[in-house]
Amino acid sequence: MNKAIQDLAKIELHCHLDGSTSVELIRQLAKEQDIDINEEKLFVDSSCDSLDAYLQCFEELLKVLQTKDSLQRAVVDVAQQAARDNIKYIEIRFAPLFHMDQGLTLTEILEAVEAGVQEAIQTLDIQVNLLICAMPQHDEATNQALFDFIQQRDNKAVCGLDFAGPEVGYSTTAIQRAATYGLEQGFNMTLHAGEYCFLHADKYAYHIQTIL
């Protein structure tokens, strides 16, 4: 059965660049950049019921994804993993504003990630597109400026926008205007919503059932 599933052609529509970069590449990048990575912080166990704890894993690995080289290699790495699973189409989402800690500009970040997309398409049997993540903890003006930047570029690989990140303390109304703005610019959009509820399904089971 596993072999049959492996052989099936598949699509992947929810893949985070930082959260899907292989541990092997993270280790290699950390060594090359002389950055101390605490690998224990890269994982949570199966009993984790905190979205915030899960998201802290991203903070650790983002330390090594702050250069053009590392971003391009990360895209190829994720695409290679997908291709090994016989995925023929993948949408890789990432938050450009989280890759500026060492001085990269938004232009440099997009160029690096798009170069990774082209390398993956040319060397692997896979089609790759990008989703640009905005964050609820960023203010409306910041997210709208990000959307404006993407709109002004010739981003052949960008197929839409996303809102990701923590949910506790950030209501959906807090991102409503920015999300509407993105839609008005003609972008496709996906939204992370309800993940906290599903991590606490015993507490929110009635609420979820009511919504559905």
Are 179 and 189 a contacting pair, CB within 8 Å? yes
Q: Does the annotation mark 91 as catalytic?
A: no
Estimate the crossing angle of helix 140-152 against helix 172-184, to 10 degrees: 20
Give the strands of the sheet with 87-94, arranged side by side: 10-16, 87-94, 127-134, 158-163, 189-191
Confidence of residue 7 (pLDDT cuts 50, 70, 90): confident
pLDDT tens string 62-105 = 999 999 999 999 999 999 999 999 999 999 999 999 999 999 99
Please name which of 96, 178, 183, 165 lies closest in space to residue 139, comparing C-alpha atoms: 178
How many other C-beta atoms can be found within 10 angstroms of the C-beta atom of residue 29?
23
Phi, psi of 78 (to 5 degrees): -65, -40
Q: Can you give the CATH number for the domain in which 83 is found? A: 3.20.20.140
Residue 140 in tokens: 């409306």
pLDDT tens string 127-136 = 999 999 999 8
The boundaries of the domain holding residue 75 are: 2-211
Are 80 and 31 a contacting pair, CB within 8 Å? no
What percentage of the chain exceeds 90 in pLDDT? Answer: 64
How many domains does the chain contain in total?
1
pLDDT tens string 11-29 = 999 999 998 999 999 999 9
